[in-house]
Amino acid sequence: MPQPAGHRTGGSMNTLAASHIAVVLLRALHFAADKHRDQRRKGAEASPYINHLIEVAELLTREGGITDGVTLQAAILHDTLEDTQTTPEELEAVFGPEVRRLVEEVTDDKRLPRAERKRLQIEHAPHLSTRAKLIKLADKIANVHSLIHTPPAEWSGERKQEYLDWSERVVAGCRGSNEALERVHDKTVAEGRRILGSVPSSGLR
């Protein structure tokens, strides 16, 4: 019987055989690499955007013990609807309705102002599915790590501190989904605060 997506599964491969997992993940990587081919991260290194998507999926597996194929595919594809011309119909045609729904669940509405999108992430986090919470956790870990080590050149110290505060508020709504990922997030934010010399804003924890 399949184990819940948020639980460690040891050496087992959850609902899909290992060979099929490899096929679907490589297909997702190929798809995402093509869709994001002209995009770069905002950090000083301007690394290819696909690196971030690989990091999110790797964090889920290495730190969170996640081997669920749907979760890992959606992690790799999680920015395709938000940041490329990919449509939900295209995602479903290639990866099926489960993956499409999960990617939609973690997608912001880019028609809204940035401040409103950030507010809604905090508001929606407690109501996400377990799989979506896992992706949010890994995404925030990856983003905070990048902010600490390769921050955008134009970001002030205050803006970096505000991002750490916001990340904590989003993750607060995802707690209970995977303790290992939550610990990594907390450790990464604490490292960021040491480097920036900041403390959490009141009422955030």
Residues designated catalytic: 82-83
Give the span between the Cα atoms of 21 and 134, in whole angstroms. Answer: 18
Give the span between the Cα atoms of 65 and 149, in whole angstroms. Answer: 25
Q: How far is CA 76 from CA 81, 87, 102, 203, in A?
A: 12, 16, 11, 33
Give the span between the Cα atoms of 80 and 94, in whole angstroms. Answer: 13
Compute φ and ψ for 48, nearest 5 degrees: -55, 140
CB 164 within 8 A of CB 195: no
Give the span between the Cα atoms of 140 and 193, in whole angstroms. Answer: 15
